[in-house]
Amino acid sequence: MTGLSAEQKAFYAEHGYVHVEGLLTPAEAADYRARLHALAERQGETDATWESVKGGTSIQHSHDIHFRDAAFTRLLVDERITGLARDAIGGPNVQLHHNKMFIKPPEKGSPFPMHQDYPYFPHRDHSMIAMILHFDDAPVERGCLCVYPGTHKLGPLPAVGSDHHLPEDEYPIAGATPIPARAGDAIVTHYLLVHGSGVNVSDQPRTTLLIQMRDPADLPLNDKHTSRGQGMMLAGIDPGAKWQGFAWEERAV
């Protein structure tokens, strides 16, 4: 059995997120963790700290991990992943938007300001979801995900700054619900859900893969956030009638 139970589907519809415990085994989580740390080692220092919280903290990242290690190509089409995505999206067809790893280093791992994902890649039907796969335990002190449950029902909210965060006085991180997770857990969020995470102040890293997926029938409202592999079908079909030949020959029919 893959996918969300009826209870989990109802929880997701009401709160805009669902925490699925033990989606991957501890051994699988440890393997993916080792692969991401090896990748981080190969590529050297990077920092994805958001503009509005820069200063004294850092976070290692890389995008499109399936272009770096084939184990992640297989993971993207794993039915445990696509089953959850299908049920959160609410249809049989699941299309990749992008994916990225984050390693919040010990003691000074950057926070994510509270935000909706919407302003980065707005879509007509709001079908976009994020799935955060945890490869380390992520208790509160390691900067676990924090959410404002139910905010996905508010629609797009006015964001501020170049990093599109939400005003701190309206959505303080202290007022959000923390979702401590274990290695192997998945958290699925709607792209309109207000979410963020705190600083990793622990002595261990917090390692995750975030996969952003959508219904292929949904339309991006701009082409700002393209990435390698975007549009790959992870489950089902793309029901669109668009002719596909060589990329340079594409034409609408």
Ligand X SMILES: O=C(O)CCC(=O)C(=O)O
Contacts with ligand X by CB under 6 A lie at: 102, 112, 117, 132, 145, 195, 197, 208, 210
Closest CB to ligand X among 35 and 115? 115
Measured CA to CA in angstroms, residue 137 lies from 9, 25, 30, 41, 207 at distances of 24, 13, 11, 21, 8
Using CB atoms, what's the residue nearest to ligand X? 197
Q: Which is nearer to ligand X, 93 or 136 (CB)?
A: 136
CB of residue 251 to ligand X, shortest distance in Å = 34
CA-based max dimension of the chain: 56
Q: Please report which helix (H) or strand (E) contains residue 37, including its range.
A: helix 26-43
CB of 79: closest distance to ligand X in angstroms?
24
Cβ neighbors of 14 (< 8 A, separation 6 or more) are 149, 150
Q: How far is the CB of 240 from ligand X (least distance, A)?
A: 27
| Beta carbon of residue 248, minimum distance to ligand X (angstroms, whole number) | 32
Nearer to ligand X, 117 or 218 (CB): 117
> Encoding tokens for residue 160?
């501020």
Q: How far is the CB of 242 from ligand X (least distance, A)?
A: 29
CA 12/CA 84 separation, integer angstroms: 11
Nearer to ligand X, 66 or 142 (CB): 142
Assess contact for 94 and 213: CB atoms under 8 A. Answer: yes
Cα distance between residue 32 and residue 1, in whole Å:
23
Tokens representing 238 are 């793309």
Between 93 and 130, name the residue whose CB sits nearer to ligand X.
130
